[in-house]
Amino acid sequence: MKTLSYTLCAVLAAGFAFTGDAQVKPKSKKVTELKYSGRIQAQWDGIESDGTTKEDRNHFYFRRLFLGGHAKMGDNWGGDVVMDFAASPNSDSTVFIEGASVWYNTDSFRIDIGQKKVPFGVEETTSSSKLKAIERSAVNRQFAESLKFNARHTGIFAKGDLGDSGFKYDLAVVNSGQNHNSKDSGLKPGLYQYDGNELSYYSRLAYANYDSDIRYSYGAAAGVMECDEEVSLDGNGDLNYNPADKITAYNIFGSIGFGAFNFEAEYMTGKVSGIPNNAVDDITDGTDDTHKGYSLQASYALSNAPHGSWELLYRYSEVEGSGNSNEELISAKEIIRRANIVNSSVDRLEQHYVGVNYLFNGHDAKFMLGYEMNELDEDGTRADADGFRARVQFLF
């Protein structure tokens, strides 16, 4: 992996040094536009956790290192490939596929075939380069990182406008397994695994008006992901995961803004059905697991800075889970990224985030600083995991 990263840096350096003399040409003479893109996010986390047997987190690292290629063939056909050289699954010396698709585009709709994010979760489908908080909210991370319900899947995607009504739609028919390519060995299992031979379905309908003095948007999304309901036990006779039939989830969201102020909110709820009565049979007792939570975010922009603009932010997020398979369904380990915590799973988690961003040149060059406060509840016992996060971002 290090050799690959060094090689990539050398190639980029050589390309920048000889831009004036070299020409980049596509292999196909029918390609009418070819460009590359990059995203560098260098980050520091300093998170203190109650009762941990490990050292508190105090670490610099690269959160994301994107390099992408984008091609168009006329006005309708194109393709995109974006790789992340800083993603955590690189322990097997592979490069993470951030996104890759072949697309067909018209004035009214676009169809992609490949790996993209499914239309569920406002923060999850917002580019990491444009997020106002350093990490996504607790409820978004529970559904995307713990359940592996949304985020990146491979399949067919469609989006477009409903005439002149102002409404936009998104649709997806994809593999149930999340990330990182279409091969079974590369898919990421969640709390309930996935059915490798079944498809999952997502849809979203949204309306936005950003042209008036009072800006607003609202919408709803839904999804169904097929899970693995076959019981799997480890060497001690315990469940390797929570077997289930499927996850059905809904997402309601909206925002309103006036001048420099903006407020956003979203709610998620999901039901996990088909859970066995015990670890040795597949008879269900009618009890479903439930996951639900919400996020509220307020921001204010100050544009009178000498060489850029300030942005102030507060966000509150809460998520909880209950049901038949496990009393502790909330993955604190996944939600509180890179924190050394004692209890990896809890009943409920509350998260406060206070941040300030300085945009030197919009999102292309900015610095972010935030203080994150997490309250973990396990059977009435509370623990905290708090600390600062900082990030510098450069886009090209």
pLDDT tens track for 98-120? 999 999 999 999 999 999 999 99
Domains and CATH numbers, the chain: 43-395 (2.40.160.10)
287 pLDDT band, cuts 50/70/90, is confident
145 pLDDT band, cuts 50/70/90, is very high
Q: Which one-letter amino acid corresponds to residue 167?
A: F
Q: What is the mean pLDDT of residues 134-157?
A: 96
Write phi, then psi, for 199 (nearest 5 degrees).
-100, 160
Q: Is the pLDDT of residue 304 over 50?
A: yes
Q: Tell me what the pLDDT averaged over the chain comes to.
A: 87
Residue 22: the pLDDT is 53
For residues 384 and 376, the answer to whether their CB atoms sit within 8 Å is yes
Q: What is the mean pLDDT of residues 123-148?
A: 97
Taking the C-alpha atoms of residue 60 and residue 263, their distance in angstroms, rounded to an integer, is 31
Residues above pLDDT 90, as percent of the chain = 64
Q: Is the pLDDT of residue 14 over 50?
A: no
Write phi, then psi, for 136 (nearest 5 degrees).
-70, 165
Long-range contacts of 300-306 (CB under 8 A, 24+ apart): 300/260, 300/261, 300/262, 301/260, 301/262, 302/260, 303/260, 305/358
In the chain, alpha helices (H): 2-17, 122-125, 138-141, 332-335
**307-311, 340-344, 358-362, 380-384: least confidently modelled range:** 340-344
Give tens-digit pLDDT for 214-260.
Answer: 999 999 999 999 998 876 666 666 666 778 899 999 999 999 999 99
Residue 88: the pLDDT is 62
Instruction: Report helix, strand or coil for 334.
Output: helix
Residue 181: the pLDDT is 60
Residue 378: the pLDDT is 86
Q: What is this structure's pTM?
A: 0.88
Residue 2: the pLDDT is 44
Give tens-digit pLDDT for 166-195.
Answer: 899 999 999 998 876 656 666 778 889 898
